[in-house]
Amino acid sequence: MSRSLEHRAVIDRLPSRKQFRRDVIKGLNREQKTLPCKYLYDARGSRLFDEICEVPEYYLTRTELAIMDEEAHNIASEIGPEAVLIEYGSGSSLKTRMLLDALDDPVAYVPVDISQTHLSQSAAAIAEEYPAINVVPVCADFTKPFELPYELSHYDRRVVYFPGSTIGNLTPRRTCKLLRQIRDLTGDAGGLLVGFDLQKDRDLLEAAYDDAAGVTSEFSLNLLQRINRELSGDFELDQFRHQATYNDVAGRIEIELVSQCEQSVEVSGRSFTFDAGESILTEYSHKYTVEGLQSLAARSDFGVSRVWTDDRNWFGVAYLTADNS
């Protein structure tokens, strides 16, 4: 097939501000108040997350980068030639460069991210560094179905790259739903390359999500600041405290913003009351075993083709392919 594609501007499938308002109001009305973690990633939130990846306690990025550095060519061999690489939550794309360097004649790179500013910048940098690869950025919530540009949907080898441990933000039920959506997107000839964090010591896990420099705290509180700015909220940020706790029964970090006093907050003309110590749940980060990931894959019409881990078994990268049995 002729590759007549061109580099293009961001395709905008971003959730609207009206949707943002609906999700926030709905979450704050629950008995256990919640805010969807996808809204953490506005332009400032995305920059703060890049800073989190550099703090000493946050082992995840360094460990995954080391796996990619060691195994990129083996991973590329599993994927095969002439792939359309679709990255979920593209961020700064450091690991993506390692993969693009190793892939055999990739057709296109489709970064998908909810932060349009961050996406535009990272996609432009990739397009400049890899002029032979068609870069087609899509601003969207990848947890919901979206269509590839028409000309890319005709390529059989469509591979979703889902780095970091973002898959852990979803509950097992929602993870299976997302995996089935990815399975529909990639088809029988494609696959999913996914990063996942492995279960380990509680202290190590909790420190990664509550660093001494307070970058993760600033990242969490930025969501309240975004609500103040975009939805006419009046959250007082110093009246909420970031908290990260490992739930060993559920095998996940639970991140909350805890009210420091009895208070009332307005968002878009709606009032919400908080007791002292009451929390807003903003994020889960599930930690897996290899067997647990295999089980989720099997429930989603995927099979685990290969798994690569670091020497300490802190982090894993898996390649999943269609299970047609």
pLDDT, tens digit, 9 for 90 and up, residues 182-213: 999 999 999 999 999 999 999 999 999 999 99
Rg over alpha carbons for the chain, rounded to the nearest Å, is 20
Q: Looking at the whole model, is its pTM more than 0.85?
A: yes
**Structural domain includes residue 206:** yes
- CA 97 to mean position of chain CA atoms: 17
Does the pLDDT value for residue 270 go beyond 90?
yes
Which pLDDT belongs to residue 316? 98
Which pLDDT belongs to residue 5? 45
Does the pLDDT value for residue 14 go beyond 80?
no
The Cα 214–Cα 219 span in angstroms is 9
Q: Residue 280 in 3-state DSSP?
A: strand
Which pLDDT belongs to residue 15? 62
Query: Which pLDDT band holds residue 147 (cuts at 50, 70, 90)?
Result: confident
**Structural domain includes residue 266:** no
Which pLDDT belongs to residue 117? 81
Listed residue (2, 10, 3, 1) closest to 127, CA to CA: 10
The dihedral over CA atoms of 171, 308, 181, 3, expressed in degrees to the nearest 10, equals 150
Stretch 52-62: mean pLDDT, rounded? 96
Stretch 124-133: mean pLDDT, rounded? 93
Neighbours of 323 (CB within 10 A): 14
Which pLDDT belongs to residue 324? 65
Does the pLDDT value for residue 175 go beyond 90?
yes
Report the CATH number at residue 166.
3.40.50.150
How many CA atoms within 13 Å lie on the side-chain side of 74?
A: 13
**Structural domain includes residue 254:** no
Stretch 68-93: mean pLDDT, rounded? 91
> Which helix (H) or strand (E) segment is 305 a member of?
strand 302-309
**Structural domain includes residue 90:** yes
Structural domain span for residue 315: 1-232+286-325
pLDDT in tens, 275-292: 999 999 999 999 999 999
Listed residue (108, 101, 105) closest to 123, CA to CA: 108
**Structural domain includes residue 241:** no
Which pLDDT belongs to residue 93? 73
- Split into its structural domains, the chain has a count of 1
Stretch 46-65: mean pLDDT, rounded? 95
Q: Residue 69 in 3-state DSSP?
A: helix
Stretch 78-94: mean pLDDT, rounded? 87
**Structural domain includes residue 258:** no
Query: Which pLDDT band holds residue 77 (cuts at 50, 70, 90)?
Result: very high
